[in-house]
Each structure stands twice: as structure tokens, then as C-alpha cells.
Amino acid sequence: MSIKGHFLPPHCPVTVCARMHSDEGDQWQSFAHYNANESGILSLTRDPSVGGSYLGCEPMGLFWSIQPAPGEREGLRHVMKTNSL
């Protein structure tokens, strides 16, 4: 998966967010702060996060750093249910 931003102002600060609801209805989220390059392009596979849920160049960071959103129940663990065939 590749996440990119185009047509941004040069060196513009950008926050990218991921949100999801678990099978039980709990909300989970992650976010990262970036800066667009001199051409107004942002690529999560190339550019490092400068803050948020993780730091550095982590193309899958929005996914592995996801956690319960503020105000959700305490002690949540994310477990995906699988369907058996």
C-alpha cells in the first residue's frame, strides 16, 4: 500500500490519520505529522514522520501504531476475527 499527497504547498506541514472501528464497535486511531517536499509531494514510503503515533520512515506506521482512541474503554486489545471456511 502506498499513501501519497500531491499538490500541497511546498514544505507544508501535513497530518495523516487512520481510524477504524473494531468488531465490538470501539474506535481506534493513529496519526503522524509530515512535511511536504519542495515540490508539494508527500510519500509515506519515502518521508519520515516528525511526530504523532510514531517517528521516522515507517510506510506501515499508521497500521502498526493504531491504538484505542481517547475516551474508549480501558484495556482494549485489537483482535481480528477470522471466518473459517
2-22 pLDDT per residue, tens = 899 999 999 999 999 999 988
Q: What is the pLDDT of residue 26?
A: 87
11 torsion bin: left (phi>0), alpha (psi -120 to 50), beta (else): left
| SS3 label, residue 61 | helix
Number of domains in the chain: 1
Cell digits for 57?
520512515
One-letter identity of residue 85: L
In whole angstroms, what is the distance from residue 23 CA to residue 28 CA? 11
In a domain, 35, yes or no: yes
In a domain, 46, yes or no: yes
pLDDT band at 78 (very low <50, low <70, confident <90, very high): low
Inter-residue contact 40 to 10 (CB < 8 Å): yes
pTM above 0.85, yes or no: no
In a domain, 82, yes or no: no
